[in-house]
């Protein structure tokens, strides 16, 4: 048994159900008779033609605000420790840093469902609003009667709200970008996707530190309260740059053709894609378990290593660290097509093994040579960007059909952020009880496990049209006896040709 796939131009919503061969032939004949007339009267609107490019660009500008928010606490942790040496304990630092992660887990799951069930545009607008609200509250954070404890609880809540927005950006922006890139530049879908997602996310790290250095130079180290508030305030402006464009965009063509908004067969999706889910969820957990705490606490690590422990010197070394890590993203984008998604991810996880062991085993000696330590530390992070950092979003967007892409992408990213939260929570106890070198040795162990999970569970969809997996998914649904509506009706996609209508 198979499914009738009607052309989108004929009917914006299609029904998937089991049919006989005679009925299928009759439907095909009917469609072929109607198609010429409708092709004369329906053409894509100008808005629809430009929407895919707008979606790709909006994803890039939206996710750079995510990268900025993810890295704000890198230098904020150093500032708060200087301002409140007694009150800003390791417990408080971990709580404030983890607030964004907890919010991101919630946002990734909820917004993943929203962008599948309601639409990509609605999800993108929602995430933008949440980031703006959370950033405003964080910038204005105060404790009752200037209480430091109240300030940090206020920041915990406001950063949690920001996290729901930044977490939601992952499934909303990434699924939209992958579908738009598939529509406009299929052969380069992988590199384009990486450059508008992980590249801008990674660029958010150096950007946050660069902004911090500029503000610090302008305000001076005697006005650290002003410094951190201005840095948080700039985080309000970044998502606002894309709000107008997101209000004007349309959902990508793949979503309009293949969305399932009612009676979504989640159980059938789990039965069909369980192996891929183990791969994307497991690999993302391992990657974020290593990368996020090493990013959030890298400022603290560097300040404990350098002889000149000033905030400015720490920020300068932190900027170098971010700059060294960034080229890995570009190399990964270049390798993802010729080497393949799976092999590139394995290569990146192998870098954790190599550089994690080098730094961990020689920690006491290598930290005496600060430039060498920062270079090796940056190369470890660069290999993470090259492999799982680049590939996880890409394979999570490619491994699932359009109808479930946001949900399963969001679930994979949420498991990853759970790993980040656990890693952040465990980071300080590991340093205190086992020694600082063990944070790098554990990174090496995670690299080995990451290679195994990737090799055995992550599918490689290099070069495949995402529409092909949608067709296989619909055939599978028909074979399982599922019946329901497929597709999203959006009349603004089409513009009527008045001249053709008169001739008809």
Tell me which of 6-10, 238-242, 382-386 is least confident. Answer: 6-10
pLDDT of 493 above 60: no
For the stretch 53-66, pLDDT in tens is 778 888 888 888 88
Q: What is the pLDDT of residue 43?
A: 55
pLDDT of 389 above 80: yes
Tokens 């359009």 -> residue: 402
- 73-82, 239-248, 319-328, 448-457: range with highest mean pLDDT: 448-457
Average pLDDT over residues 431-453: 89
- 258-267, 341-350, 363-372: range with highest mean pLDDT: 341-350
DSSP 116-140: HHT-HHHHHHHHHHHHHHHHHHHHT
Q: Which residue has the higher pLDDT, 308 or 115?
A: 115
Q: What is the pLDDT of residue 114?
A: 92
Residues with Cβ within 8 Å of 123's Cβ and at least 6 positions away in sequence, in order, are 111, 114, 115, 168, 171, 172, 406
Q: pLDDT confidence of 297, banded at 50, 70, 90? A: low
Instruction: Sketch the domain layout of the chain as residue ranges.
Output: 46-252+261-467
For the stretch 461-491, pLDDT in tens is 888 899 999 999 999 999 999 988 888 765 5
Q: Which residue has the higher pLDDT, 94 or 395?
A: 395
**Percent of the chain's residues with pLDDT above 90:** 38
C-alpha angle 460/462/466, rounded to 5°?
95
Q: pLDDT confidence of 46, banded at 50, 70, 90? A: low
Q: pLDDT confidence of 343, banded at 50, 70, 90? A: very high
Task: Characterize the bridge pairing of strands 494-496 and 42-44.
Answer: antiparallel
Structure tokens at 472: 């296989």
Alpha-carbon torsion 294, 295, 297, 300, what sign? positive
| pTM for this prediction | 0.82
Q: pLDDT confidence of 35, banded at 50, 70, 90? A: very low
- 23-37, 62-76, 329-343: range with highest mean pLDDT: 329-343
d(CA 492, CA 46) in angstroms, rounded, equals: 10
For the stretch 124-181, pLDDT in tens is 999 999 999 999 999 999 888 888 899 999 999 999 999 999 999 989 988 998 998 8
**Percent of the chain's residues with pLDDT above 70:** 84
Q: pLDDT confidence of 41, banded at 50, 70, 90? A: very low
d(CA 292, CA 15) in angstroms, rounded, equals: 44
CA distances from 83 to 241, 293, 313 (A): 32, 22, 17
Q: Which residue has the higher pLDDT, 450 or 42?
A: 450
**Side-chain-facing half-sphere of 202: CA atoms under 13 Å:** 29
d(CA 51, CA 177) in angstroms, rounded, equals: 11
Q: pLDDT confidence of 303, banded at 50, 70, 90? A: low
Q: pLDDT confidence of 18, banded at 50, 70, 90? A: very low
pLDDT of 321 above 80: no
Q: What is the pLDDT of residue 503?
A: 41
d(CA 35, CA 398) in angstroms, rounded, equals: 31
Q: What is the pLDDT of residue 401?
A: 94
Cβ-contact 210, 319 below 8 angstroms: yes
Q: pLDDT confidence of 33, banded at 50, 70, 90? A: very low
Tell me which of 18-27, 43-52, 111-120, 462-471 is least confident. Answer: 18-27
pLDDT of 299 above 50: yes
Q: What is the pLDDT of residue 10?
A: 35
CA distances from 209 to 70, 154, 306 (A): 12, 23, 17
Nearest to 254 by CA among 181, 197, 314: 181
For the stretch 240-284, pLDDT in tens is 888 877 887 788 888 888 899 888 999 999 999 999 999 999 999
Q: What is the pLDDT of residue 265?
A: 93
Exposure b/e, 333-366, CB count within 10 A at least 16 = b = bbbbbeebbbbbbbbbbbbbbebbbbbbeebeeb
pLDDT of 381 above 50: yes
Q: pLDDT confidence of 347, banded at 50, 70, 90? A: very high
For the stretch 74-95, pLDDT in tens is 788 888 988 898 888 888 888 8
Average per-residue pLDDT for the chain: 82
CATH fold for the domain made of 46-252+261-467: Growth Hormone; Chain: A; (1.20.1250)
- 77-81, 312-316, 320-324: range with highest mean pLDDT: 77-81
Beta bridge partners of 486: 14
């Amino acid at each position: 048994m198979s499914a009738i796939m009607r052309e989108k131009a004929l009917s914006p919503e299609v029904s998937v159900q089991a049919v006989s061969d005679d009925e299928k032939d009759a439907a095909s004949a009917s469609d072929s008779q109607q198609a010429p007339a409708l092709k004369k009267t329906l053409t894509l609107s100008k808005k629809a033609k430009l929407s895919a490019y707008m979606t790709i660009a909006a994803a890039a500008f939206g996710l750079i605000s995510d990268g900025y928010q993810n890295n704000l606490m890198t230098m904020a942790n150093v500032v708060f420790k200087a301002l409140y040496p007694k009150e800003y304990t390791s417990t408080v630092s971990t709580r404030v840093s983890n607030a964004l992660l907890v919010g991101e887990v919630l946002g990734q799951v909820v917004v993943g469902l929203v962008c599948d069930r309601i639409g990509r545009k609605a999800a993108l607008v929602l995430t933008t609003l949440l980031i703006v609200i959370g950033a405003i509250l964080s910038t204005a954070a105060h404790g009752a009667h200037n209480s430091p404890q109240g300030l940090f609880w206020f920041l915990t809540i406001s950063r949690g709200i920001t996290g729901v927005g930044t977490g939601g950006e992952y499934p909303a922006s990434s699924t939209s970008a992958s579908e738009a890139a598939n529509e406009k530049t299929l052969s380069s879908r992988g590199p384009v996707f990486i450059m508008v997602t992980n590249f801008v996310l990674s660029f958010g790290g150096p950007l946050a530190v660069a902004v911090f250095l500029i503000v610090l130079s302008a305000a001076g180290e005697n006005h650290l309260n002003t410094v951190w508030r201005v840095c948080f305030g700039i985080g309000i402006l970044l998502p606002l740059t894309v709000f107008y464009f997101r209000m004007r965009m349309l959902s990508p063509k793949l979503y309009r053709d293949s969305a399932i908004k009612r009676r979504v067969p989640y159980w059938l999706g789990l039965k069909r894609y369980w192996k891929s889910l183990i791969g994307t969820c497991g690999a993302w957990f391992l990657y974020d378990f290593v990368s996020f705490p090493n990013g959030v606490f890298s400022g603290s690590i560097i300040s404990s290593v350098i002889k000149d422990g000033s905030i400015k010197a720490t920020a300068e070394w932190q900027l170098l660290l971010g700059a060294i890590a960034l080229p890995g993203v570009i190399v990964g984008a270049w390798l993802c097509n010729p080497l393949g998604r799976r092999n590139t991810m394995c290569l990146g996880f192998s870098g954790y093994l190599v550089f994690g062991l080098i730094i961990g085993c020689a920690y006491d000696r290598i930290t005496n040579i600060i430039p060498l330590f920062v270079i090796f530390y940056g190369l470890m992070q660069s290999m993470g960007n090259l492999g799982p950092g680049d590939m996880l979003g890409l394979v999570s967007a490619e491994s699932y059909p359009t109808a479930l892409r946001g949900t399963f992408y969001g679930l994979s990213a949420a498991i990853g952020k759970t790993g980040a939260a656990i890693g952040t929570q465990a980071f300080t106890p590991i340093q205190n009880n086992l020694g600082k070198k063990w944070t790098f040795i554990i990174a090496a162990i995670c690299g080995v496990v990451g290679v195994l999970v990737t090799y055995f569970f992550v599918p490689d969809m290099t070069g495949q049209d995402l529409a092909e997996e949608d067709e296989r998914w619909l055939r599978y649904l028909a074979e399982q006896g599922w019946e329901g509506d497929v597709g999203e009706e959006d009349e603004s996609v089409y513009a009527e040709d008045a001249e053709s209508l008169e001739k008809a």
